[in-house]
Amino acid sequence: MSDRETPFAVHPDVRRAETPPGWVYSDSGWPREIVRGAFVGGWHHLDPGSVPRGEARPFLLAEGCLDEPLLRTCSQDGSTWIGSNVCTHRGARLCDQAGPVPELRCKYHGRAFALDGSLLRAPGFDGALDFPRPEDSLPSLPLETFGPLEFTSLSPAEPFADWIAPVRNRFGWCPWDRLELDPAGSKSFHVEANWALYVENYLEGFHIPFVHPGLRSAIEGPTYRTSLHGSTVLQLADAKAGDPALEVPIGSEDAGSRLAGIYIWLFPGLMLNLYPFGLSLNRVVPESVDRTRIEYRRYVWAPEHLDSGAGGDLDQVELEDQSIVQEVQRGVRSRLYTRGRYAPKHESGTHHFHRLLDASLRRAAKVDPGVIDQAPRT
């Protein structure tokens, strides 16, 4: 099954490749498969906020997309646990609201779990054979960190260390540990477009001179560069002389550069945008085939730079991107549009994204061969 074609299969040579067919962005069968193929296997940034000892906090992972009911708890010994919020008996939700709890007690038939997910009691199960088994405890999920950022995954397609390695290796010099969450910079936007169109737009700087006049004046356009690494696309732009910049120290790969912005995308939908002020983190959440939520979280290491340079007016840049992406959503539905081509020097990131998406759909098809066959052919 792994060698079957998916609609995101593109020629490996960007100079020859054609872009995916327009119908993939508006066919309602696809969001479900994308979720299965990409988001279930992906690493997800968790909203910051520790839980006090002896308390539990329920949340939905990728709300509106995966809607996976999870729990974060903190035991009396101070250890944090992330895992399922669904009872292992018949699937009732365990915890409805955040607060102190001595144990996690199911309201349906009284099964009780410790704050690390282990099964404590299962009333009424006397006589059950081969019980309890390890799987009668709550499934635990990994909790990984990078600086102040926390991540989890339902079923990692790759180890966290491999996923984050391009960021750690190239931008380890950034003061990640000094980042502090700025609640004023946390907000969500909705885009009436397919999530993949939003990501494609992010992965090329080709449109900047046409779509972002303000941003264009903050970066040295000819210095814009893109590199591809595993599940990551990195884009860098130098600052104009005299503007605030990220000064890259001696000994690192980009030593000597004065960067206006570092744009990091991690498959499938995480964007880490580094500016002189700190980090603008964007989570791309597909809600339906033509609606996407973009969640912004802002972390600051140099508040004096909040209003300047390439990171100075992010709302304006966001609105300009949304506007063009929504137009593209309407355009790719055209009966007269089939596929495009990639500009080899400018759109290698977008091409890389399509190749990763294709690989992820192939992986999903190994689990469920119907994934690819359900797609309409035009």
Q: Does 365 contact ligand FES by CB under 6 A?
A: no
HEC-encoded secondary structure of 303-345 = HHHCCCHHHCCHHHHHHHHHHHHHHHHHHCCCCCCCCCECCCC
87 binds ligand FES (CB under 6 A): yes
What is the nearest approach in angstroms of Fe ion to the Cβ of residue 205?
8
Among positions 271-330, residues that touch Fe ion (CB under 5 A) are 321
Within a 13 Å sphere around the CA of 140, how many CA atoms are in the beta-carbon half? 15
Beta carbon of residue 79, minimum distance to ligand FES (angstroms, whole number)? 24
Judged by beta carbon, residue 92 or residue 161, the one nearer ligand FES is 92
Give 68's strand partners. 61
Q: How far apart are CA 350 and CA 376, in angstroms?
A: 23
Q: Is 266 in the site for ligand FES (CB under 6 A)?
A: no
| Percentages (nearest 5) of helix, strand, coil residues in the chain | 25, 30, 45
Chain centroid offset of residue 50 CA: 21
As a whole number of angstroms, the distance between CA 206 and CA 221 comes to 9
Size of the site for ligand FES (CB under 6 A): 9
CA 14, 264, 316: angle at the middle one, nearest 5? 100
**Interface with ligand FES by CB under 6 A: which range of 103-111, 227-235, 306-314, 322-330?**
103-111
CB of 44 to Fe ion, least distance (A): 23
Our finding on whether 120 is near ligand FES (CB under 6 A) is no
Contacts of 365 (CB under 8 A, 6+ apart): 1, 2, 4, 6, 37, 371, 372
Q: Between residues 154 and 199, which has the closer beta carbon with respect to Fe ion?
A: 199
Minimum CB separation of residue 112 from ligand FES in Å reads 9
- Residue 295 DSSP class: E
Q: Which option in ligand FES, Fe ion, none does residue 89 bind, with CB closer than 5 to 8 A by kind?
A: ligand FES
33, burial (CB in 10 Å: exposed 0-12, middle 13-18, buried 19+): buried
Please report how close the Cβ of residue 86 comes to ligand FES at its closest, in angstroms.
9
Q: Does 347 sit near Fe ion (CB under 5 A)?
A: no
Least distance (Å) from ligand FES to the CB of residue 95?
Answer: 12
Q: Which of 5, 49, 64, 108 binds ligand FES (CB under 6 A)?
A: 108
Residues that bind Fe ion (CB under 5 A): 321
User: Where along the sequence are the contacts to ligand FES (CB under 6 A)?
Assistant: 87, 89-90, 92, 106, 108-111
